[in-house]
A and B are shown apart, each in its own frame.
Chain A
Amino acid sequence: MFEVYDLSFMWSLSNITQTINSWLNQTFSPTWALIFEMVIVGICVISLFAILGLVLVLMERKVSAWMQIRLGPNRVGPKGMLQSFADTLKLLVKEGLTPNGADKFLFNLAPFIAMIVAMLLMAPIAFARDFKMWDMNIGVLYVTAVSSISVISILMAGWASNNKYSLMGAMRSGAQIVSYELSAGLAILSIVVLTGSLNLNDIIQSQANGWWIFKGHIPVLISFVIFIIAVTAETNRAPFDLAEAESELTAGFHTEYSGMKFALFFLAEYVNVFIVCAIGATLFLGGWMPFHIGNWQGFNHIMDYIPSSIWFFGKTFFLIFLIMWFRWTFPRLRIDQLLNLEWKYLLPISMFNIILVTAMAILGWHF
């Protein structure tokens, strides 16, 4: 493996974090410096969430409109760019109702759990070269483990609402997430087998001479497809949106929520989409790693001129677009079709696939 130089080093994010870190450590005692850094990271995460919510909601509405031969929001601000600000304002001033028969504590807790899970998932993601919150040696395991907590918030919301639509939506969502986690896990595992590491940083470094989706031949391609299908199901988005299923369950688990509590669920959905796409981009498309072809030094150097954060966000948004494309093209599955797809198709294929990948990794058939 060769060393990659960030040619725009002056402006790289890792440089900025380093400067802040050394300045804080010079000015304050190490404990206070750590506390300040935590506060800064917290503020950064919350503002990233806010920006993501605004951008993704607008993006979804525009994408859906264009795919359905409509115009989409085009009145608020230039070309409708401020539409999601207006929506947020509306949600902020709305009354957050708690139904009389609801379990008040759980009802109010559920949206925050959804948000906290989304926040926790941000920790191991590398947004740019050497720019991540927590360099953990079991990043992949952490992500798969924490992401399954999100089903608890959905079940909690469904149960606490004391409403049969909510409960039914929550139960469906539980069945769905539990079953699709298997194939998502196996798809992730195929990359772990190829790299031999659970550390997301190592996985990215292993793609310095080409992304896994190109290096890994057809088996990795199959894993990638399975991963995308499974995460679409795990984030409860159409065509797997049985937990919400507007036409059957009014709004599923968040039927009874209004105002800011509803907004938190809404935001958590979009942030989850961002996170799973970021993980998909990290595992299969090289994360922040620029597009490199084998040992073509010249070509690779040109690609390095593009900052790593742009590579990361570009790939992530490409995957988000793909998932939105699914949502506005495919009709919703029935619950039996959904479980058939997982247990009769995705799971056997991914099990067979992982054997292929393992053989490939042992025999060294990848580049």
Chain B
Amino acid sequence: MFIVKYIKEVWSAIKSLLIGMRRTGYYFTHHKEIITQQYPDNRDTLNLPERFKGEVVMPHDEKNEHRCTGCTACELACPNGTIKVITKFDISPEGKKKKAIDKLVYHLELCTMCNLCVIACPSDAIVMAQTFEHSVFDRSKLTKILNNPGSKIMDGVE
């Protein structure tokens, strides 16, 4: 019946509004939930959320080896042209030619921290770091080379 539907509608509207108010009321009374970081004051004890993205880095192990094969998938995935993969050819001990990276150039000033390159990388060579204090006085310092000088590709990564 029309009138029953009408009353039901009003009732469900009131109920859903009250549910919303209960949530904000909970936050209002529970100050422990506050997520604001008072940044410069708590610089040493900063507690960043797990998914916070600061910049793209390439982890190296203790033998100065990384996992990048130079496949340029990250370069293709990046919407801003932030990454430039410069490849070279290594001569393997058996005398075969093998593609490897010379430099992986990363323009921090162009990066929007969208994470697409990390997702695109087939060998998990790059990750997002949580460092975020990036201001410098010279713009050229923002162009970074992600692989360490003299680094090699890890054994077993194709």
Segment with Cβ contacts to B, from A132-140, A205-213, A324-332 = A324-332
> Which residue of the partner chain, among A71, A328, A329, contacts B36 with CB atoms under 8 Å?
A71
Task: Judge whether A345 is part of the interface by a CB distance below 8 angstroms.
Answer: yes
Among the stretches A8-16, A46-54, A61-69, A109-117, the one at the interface with B is A61-69
**In the complex with contacts A63-B28, A325-B21, A325-B25, A69-B35 CB distance below 8 A:** yes
Alpha-carbon distance between A329 and B36 when the two chains are bound, in angstroms: 19
Q: Mark B97-131, 1 if CB is under 8 A from A, else 0.
A: 00000000000000000000000000000000000
**Residues in A lying within 8 Å of B, measured CB to CB:** 63, 66-71, 325-326, 328-330, 345, 349
B135 interface hit (Cβ, 8 Å): no
A325 and B24 form a contact (CB under 8 A): yes
List residues of chain B with CB under 8 Å of any chain A CB.
10, 17, 20-21, 23-25, 27-28, 31, 33-36, 38
Q: Which residues of B contact A71 (CB under 8 A)?
A: 34, 36, 38
Q: Given the complex, which residues of B lie within 8 Å of A70, measured CB to CB? A: 34-36
Q: Are A329 and B20 in contact (CB under 8 A)?
A: yes
* Further pairs besides A69-B34, A70-B34: 11, Cβ < 8 Å: A66-B27, A66-B31, A67-B28, A68-B27, A69-B33, A69-B35, A70-B36, A71-B34, A325-B21, A326-B21, A329-B17
Interchain CA distance A70-B35 in the complex, whole Å? 6
Closest to A322 in B: B21
| B residues less than 8 Å from A67 (CB atoms) | 24, 27-28
Query: How long is the Cα–Cα vector from A328 to B25 in the complex, in angstroms?
Result: 10
Partner of A66, one of B10, B28, B38: B28
How far is it, in angstroms, between the C-alpha of A71 and the C-alpha of B36 when the chains are bound?
Answer: 6
Report how far A22 CA is from B17 CA in the complex, Å.
53
A349 in contact with B20 (CB, 8 Å): no
Docked CA distance A328–B26 (Å): 13
**Known contacts A345-B10, A349-B10; A328 and B34 CB within 8 A of each other:** no
**Distance of A325 Cα from B36 Cα, bound (Å):** 20
